[in-house]
Amino acid sequence: MIDLRILRENPDRVTKLLGTRNVPAGEVTRLLELDTELRRAIAARDEIRASINQLSKSVGELRRSGRDDEAVRAQEQSRDLGEQLKALETRATELTEARDAIWLVTPNLPSKDAPIGEDERDNRVVRYWSPEDGHRGVEDFELPTFAEHQRVPHWETGAELGILDFERATKISGAMFSMFRGPGARLLRSLTSLALDMHTETFEEIRPPTLVKRETMLATGHLPKFADEAYAVERDDLYLIPTAEVPLTSLGRNEIFEEAELPLRFAAYTPCFRREAGAAGRDTRGLLRLHEFDKVELLSYCTPDQGQDLFFEVLRQAELLLQALGLTYRVLDLCTGDLGQSSARTFDLEVFSPGTDKWLEVSSVSLFTDYQARRANLRYRSSDGAVGFVYTVNGSALAWGRVIAAMLEVGRQPDGSVVLAEVLAPYFRGTTITKSEKSPASISKNH
């Protein structure tokens, strides 16, 4: 949640900043109005409560001094104030609910460094990287040349090699689910092990629960705004996580850390679940858009002064992994109109897929400032004893579906086999995928 003190002190500035995020000015004004009304109601409620307490004390004193008539009048006055108190408490509850309904879906204030824009068309490409040329600026980058055999979509290569079985995944679970088989399953496991080994020298490895409480989803901003995207287990009021960011953020919920403990760095592998509401027909073939996928996530708690350094550290971790895998990628600085709700600034990493001739997002690295920490009541005590909210930073390193899609296309050989990056050899037990003898095509289809 945004800091309401900033809104109270400088409403014009906040309205302007949120306007760059496509938030109507009237919505910001309404939030401020409700906040003002609520503070007045709370002040009046507290004043009456104090008066009732004072009258209660005075009744005893009056009776002890034999002034029974005055004691009766004080009791009557206290009862009248009690009725006013009930009304004010009801009003405060109503105002709190109305204010929070807006506050909880109001996006974070964008960083001054985030480019201004309306939507994804205004995102800014920062740089490119390719195995042939390394880092390149926007002006001097040329897409590597891909041979015809590398232009085959990954879903065709995966089926030919028997490592992707979408037909049976659909039979078991429905559309937009995947199944990895044989070397495909081993590749997925190898990528996860490689990523964790690369990250856990500096990040503590965590294996969090996959099902979380409603308040855990609220803490990151995934609820209430993105309820339609979440898989809910309604009977138990639990949610399947859309990303490990959700449980990792709540590791320290309602806790206070000492400044000397920060930054804290966490790395987690989990499956992730997203309904992908509204995605029908849009990049839904193969591994491009799935309801369930595997991902390694990095997340840090830090002080405000550490935020920028941690932000770029997580970005660097994700880039190093893509470079180790030998995939051409680009870094996008998301404009204000395309930022996620909780983010103040985000860099997306996109790999090039020659089989679909598209750039595919495989990581988002975000600086959330104190937005999530306010929702999670995640705080730290500075060296001078002051208590404030931590900053949170997170990024995918990496989401495997689209990474594997690009690897199967880039690494495809003229004979249909796939050569993987050398860095995977110790995990995969080699670097070449050939047609499996236990491919789905070789399994008898009895009906």
275 is in an annotated binding site: yes
362 is in an annotated binding site: yes
Strand, helix or coil for residue 244: coil
353 is in an annotated binding site: no
Least Cα distance to 57 among 69, 71, 76, 73 occurs for 71
User: Where does residue 172 rank: exposed (0-12), middle (13-18), buried (19+ CB within 10 A)?
Assistant: exposed
User: How far is Cα 144 from Cα 309, in angstroms, rounded to an integer?
Assistant: 32
Tokens of 52: 């009732």
Beta strands per DSSP E along 400-435: 418-419, 432-433
User: How far is Cα 329 from Cα 54, in angstroms, rounded to an integer?
Assistant: 69
User: How far is Cα 112 from Cα 100, in angstroms, rounded to an integer?
Assistant: 26
- Do the Cβ atoms of 398 and 295 come closer than 8 Å? yes
297 is in an annotated binding site: yes
276 is in an annotated binding site: yes
59 is in an annotated binding site: no
363 is in an annotated binding site: yes
Measured at the CA of 355, the angle between CA 352 and CA 360, to 5 degrees, comes to 35
Tokens of 408: 């199967």
Q: Which residue(s) pair with 353 in the sheet?
A: 358
309-to-135, 220, 312, 342, 367 alpha-carbon distances in Å:
21, 21, 5, 19, 10
User: How far is Cα 433 from Cα 407, in angstroms, rounded to an integer?
Assistant: 11
Q: Can you say which residues are annotated as belonging to the binding site?
A: 243, 274-276, 297, 361-364, 394
Q: Can you say which residues are annotated as belonging to the binding site for ATP?
A: 274-276, 361-364
Q: Can you say which residues are annotated as belonging to the binding site for L-serine?
A: 243, 274, 297, 394
